[in-house]
C-alpha cells in the first residue's frame, strides 16, 4: 500500500461531475436519459443561452454558451429545460459529503467540481481503489456520472480529470507530462484562455510544451507574474495546498440577472435593482460580512457591457445603503439605451468579525435592537427561499429565476 502514497509528495484528486445540470435532471426524470437535453436560462422568455447539455446533445453539435435558436437548428429534437438551482445545490451538497467521508481535505471550487487531498487516506485503499469506489458510489446513490483526475498536485489533477469523460479515471504523473500534456494546444491548458493564447502565439508559442520550455523573462514581459506561473504549471509544478477554507476567501458578493426583454422601462429596472440588492444582502448576512465598494454592471441590447463602481468611506451591509449607491451609479452612467442585463456587486468584502468598528452607544443600541428581527427574517428566508416580508412593501413582483450559482453555498455540505 505504501508505494501508492509517497513519503514526501501528495496524492490529489480533482473530481468533476459530468454534464452536471443535465445529469441531475436525468436523475430526477429517468425518461430524459439517452435523449438530447439542454439547460438554458429563461428559455420561455428570451431566446436564451445554453448553460449545459447532455452528451447526446453535444454529439449533435450543441455547445455551452450557444444561442438556443442555433442549438435547436442543429438538433430539432432538443429538449430544453430551465435551470433548477435548488435541485443542483442539493445534489452538490450530497456529493461533497461523500468526499468529506474520505478526507477532511476537500476544497469545493464550484457547484460540480472540487479537489481532495488523500495523502493520508491509506485506510480507504489505494488511490485508484478510492477513485473507483467514490465514482461508483456517486453513480449508484445519486445516479450521477463523474470523472476523477489523480495526480501529485492540483494543476495536474485538474488536467487529468478532463482527459476522459464521462465516467473517466485518469492518473497523471510528472513523468507523463512531456508526452501527455506538451503536445496539446495552448487552449487546452487550464488557466490559458483565448486572450492569453493569442498573446503567446505572438511570441511563437503554439503548444503547452512551447510554454513549458519558454523563456521566463519573455513570458513575464508578455503576461506579467502569470507568465512564470503558467510556465511552472506546464512543467508540472504547483505547490498550492488543498484548502478546505478557501471557499470563505471571498472579496465580493454580487447578483446579476437578464431581463425578460430588453427594456428602458424604469419601473422594470427599479424592480430588478430591488431584487438584486435583496439577493446581495441575503448572501452578505449569510456570510456575516460587509463591504466598502459597490459596483454596477449594465449590459445593453447590443451586448456592450459597462461596469462602474464607487469606493466608500465606511463598510456597508444594509439594502438601503447598497441600493442607494447602486441607484446613484446607475442614474449617472445609464445612456438610456435598452438594457439586457443588470448586476449589483459589493466589493472589498470582509467578515464583520474582522472589521474593527467604533460604534457610539446610540448606533450600537439601534443595530442591536434590529438583530433579532434580522435573524428571524433570515431563518424564514432560508426556509422559504426568499424574504417572506418583501411583499408587504409591494416589491419584487417581477422576480425571475436566477441563472447563476453563488459560491457562498459551497460549504453547505459541512452542515
pLDDT of residue 400: 38
pLDDT of residue 390: 40
61: left (phi over 0), alpha (psi -120 to 50) or beta: left
Q: Average pLDDT for residues 343-372, to the nearest whole number?
A: 60
Characterize the bridge pairing of strands 37-40 and 50-53.
antiparallel
Model confidence at 9, in pLDDT bands (50, 70, 90)? Answer: confident
Model confidence at 397, in pLDDT bands (50, 70, 90)? Answer: very low
Model confidence at 350, in pLDDT bands (50, 70, 90)? Answer: confident
**pLDDT tens digits along 154-173:** 999 999 999 999 999 999 99
Residue 259 has pLDDT above 60, yes or no: yes
Higher-pLDDT residue of 167, 401: 167
CATH number at residue 330: 3.30.1490.100
Indicate the DSSP class of residue 185: B
Model confidence at 375, in pLDDT bands (50, 70, 90)? Answer: low
Model confidence at 5, in pLDDT bands (50, 70, 90)? Answer: low
**pLDDT tens digits along 44-91:** 555 578 889 999 999 999 998 888 889 999 999 999 999 898 899 999
**pLDDT tens digits along 225-245:** 999 999 999 999 999 999 988
Residue 260 has pLDDT above 90, yes or no: no
Q: Is 321 annotated as a binding residue?
A: no
Q: Is residue 135 part of a domain?
A: no
Model confidence at 250, in pLDDT bands (50, 70, 90)? Answer: low
Higher-pLDDT residue of 103, 258: 103
The fraction of the chain above a pLDDT of 90, given in percent, is 66
| Same domain membership, residue 354 and residue 213 | no
Q: Is residue 101 part of a domain?
A: no
User: Chain-wide mean pLDDT for the chain?
Assistant: 85
Q: Is 252 helix (H, G, I), strand (E, B) or coil?
A: strand
pTM of the predicted model as reported, rounded to 2 decimal places:
0.68
| Same domain membership, residue 254 and residue 369 | yes
The neighbouring-strand residues paired with 150 are: 13, 171
| Same domain membership, residue 328 and residue 198 | no
Residue 14 has pLDDT above 80, yes or no: yes
Residue 369 has pLDDT above 80, yes or no: no
Residue after which a domain boundary falls, among 234, 266, 300:
234
Model confidence at 408, in pLDDT bands (50, 70, 90)? Answer: low
CATH number at residue 200: 1.10.150.20
Q: Average pLDDT for residues 30-42, to the nearest whole number?
A: 91
Residue 355 has pLDDT above 70, yes or no: no
Largest CA distance in the chain: 68
Q: Is residue 308 part of a domain?
A: yes
Cell of 270: 427599479
Q: Is residue 310 part of a domain?
A: yes
CA distance 130 to 103: 11
Q: Is 342 helix (H, G, I), strand (E, B) or coil?
A: strand
Q: Average pLDDT for residues 349-376, to the nearest whole number?
A: 53
| Same domain membership, residue 398 and residue 359 | yes
- Give the contacts of 86 (CB within 8 A, at least 6 positions apart): 385
| Same domain membership, residue 250 and residue 226 | no
- Catalytic residue, chosen from 113, 129, 187, 351, is 113
| Same domain membership, residue 364 and residue 399 | yes
| Same domain membership, residue 389 and residue 329 | yes
Is there a contact between 102 and 85 (Cβ–Cβ < 8 Å)?
Answer: no
| Same domain membership, residue 260 and residue 377 | yes
Parent domain of 382: 246-414
CA distance 107 to 240: 12
pLDDT of residue 234: 97
CATH number at residue 46: 3.40.1170.60
Cα torsion 187, 193, 198, 204 to 10°: value is -50
CA distance 133 to 280: 39
Q: Is 206 a catalytic residue?
A: no
CA distance 28 to 48: 23
Q: Is 412 annotated as a binding residue?
A: no
Cell of 50: 445554453
CA 247 remoteness from chain centre: 11
Out of 146-160, 237-251, 257-271, give the one with best mean pLDDT. Answer: 146-160
Sheet of strand 113-117: strand arrangement:
106-110, 113-117, 12-17, 146-151, 169-171
Q: Is residue 27 part of a domain?
A: yes
Residue after which a domain boundary falls, among 43, 61, 84:
84
Model confidence at 398, in pLDDT bands (50, 70, 90)? Answer: very low
| Same domain membership, residue 347 and residue 289 | yes
Q: Average pLDDT for residues 364-372, to the nearest whole number?
A: 46
Indicate the DSSP class of residue 64: T
User: What's the structural domain count of the chain?
Assistant: 3
Q: Is residue 128 part of a domain?
A: no
Residue 413 has pLDDT above 60, yes or no: yes
Q: Is residue 28 part of a domain?
A: yes
Residue after which a domain boundary falls, among 84, 119, 135:
84
Residue 399 has pLDDT above 80, yes or no: no
Characterize the bridge pairing of strands 169-171 and 305-316.
unpaired
pLDDT of residue 406: 53
| Same domain membership, residue 252 and residue 388 | yes
Amino acid at each position: 500500500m505504501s508505494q501508492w502514497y509517497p513519503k514526501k509528495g501528495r496524492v490529489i484528486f480533482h473530481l468533476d461531475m459530468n454534464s452536471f445540470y443535465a445529469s441531475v435532471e436525468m436523475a430526477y426524470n429517468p425518461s430524459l436519459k439517452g435523449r438530447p437535453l439542454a439547460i438554458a436560462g429563461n428559455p420561455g422568455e428570451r431566446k436564451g443561452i445554453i448553460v449545459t447539455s447532455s452528451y447526446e446533445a453535444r454529439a449533435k453539435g450543441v455547445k455551452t454558451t450557444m444561442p438556443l435558436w442555433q442549438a435547436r437548428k442543429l438538433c430539432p429534437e432538443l429538449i430544453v429545460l430551465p435551470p433548477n438551482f435548488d435541485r443542483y445545490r442539493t445534489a452538490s451538497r450530497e456529493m461533497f459529503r461523500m468526499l468529506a467521508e474520505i478526507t477532511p481535505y476537500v476544497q469545493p471550487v464550484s457547484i460540480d467540481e472540487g479537489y481532495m487531498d488523500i495523502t493520508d487516506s491509506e485506510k480507504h485503499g489505494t488511490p485508484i481503489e478510492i477513485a473507483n469506489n467514490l465514482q461508483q458510489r456517486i453513480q449508484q446513490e445519486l445516479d450521477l456520472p463523474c470523472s476523477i483526475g489523480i495526480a501529485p498536485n492540483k494543476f495536474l489533477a485538474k488536467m487529468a480529470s478532463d482527459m476522459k469523460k464521462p465516467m473517466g479515471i485518469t492518473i497523471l504523473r510528472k513523468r507523463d507530462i512531456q508526452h501527455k500534456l506538451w503536445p496539446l494546444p495552448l487552449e487546452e491548458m487550464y488557466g490559458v484562455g483565448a486572450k492569453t493564447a493569442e498573446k503567446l502565439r505572438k511570441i511563437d508559442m503554439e503548444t503547452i510544451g512551447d510554454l513549458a520550455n519558454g523563456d521566463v523573462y519573455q513570458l513575464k514581459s508578455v503576461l506579467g507574474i502569470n507568465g512564470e506561473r503558467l510556465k511552472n504549471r506546464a512543467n508540472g509544478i504547483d505547490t498550492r495546498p488543498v484548502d478546505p477554507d478557501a471557499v470563505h476567501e471571498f472579496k465580493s458578493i454580487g447578483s446579476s440577472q437578464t431581463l425578460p426583454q430588453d427594456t428602458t422601462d424604469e419601473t422594470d429596472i427599479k424592480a430588478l435593482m430591488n431584487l438584486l440588492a435583496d439577493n446581495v444582502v441575503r448572501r452578505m448576512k449569510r456570510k456575516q460580512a460587509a463591504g466598502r465598494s459597490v459596483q454596477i454592471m449594465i449590459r445593453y441590447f447590443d451586448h456592450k457591457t459597462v461596469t462602474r463602481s464607487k469606493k466608500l468611506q465606511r463598510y456597508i451591509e444594509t439594502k438601503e445603503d447598497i441600493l442607494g449607491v447602486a441607484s446613484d451609479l446607475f442614474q449617472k452612467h445609464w445612456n438610456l439605451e435598452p438594457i439586457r442585463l443588470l448586476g449589483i456587486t459589493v466589493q472589498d468584502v470582509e467578515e464583520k468579525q474582522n472589521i474593527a468598528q467604533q460604534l457610539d452607544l446610540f448606533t450600537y443600541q439601534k443595530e442591536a435592537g434590529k438583530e433579532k428581527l434580522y435573524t428571524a427574517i433570515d431563518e424564514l428566508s432560508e426556509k422559504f427561499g426568499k424574504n417572506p416580508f418583501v411583499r408587504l412593501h409591494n416589491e419584487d413582483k417581477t422576480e425571475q429565476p436566477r441563472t447563476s450559482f453563488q459560491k457562498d453555498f459551497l460549504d453547505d455540505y459541512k452542515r
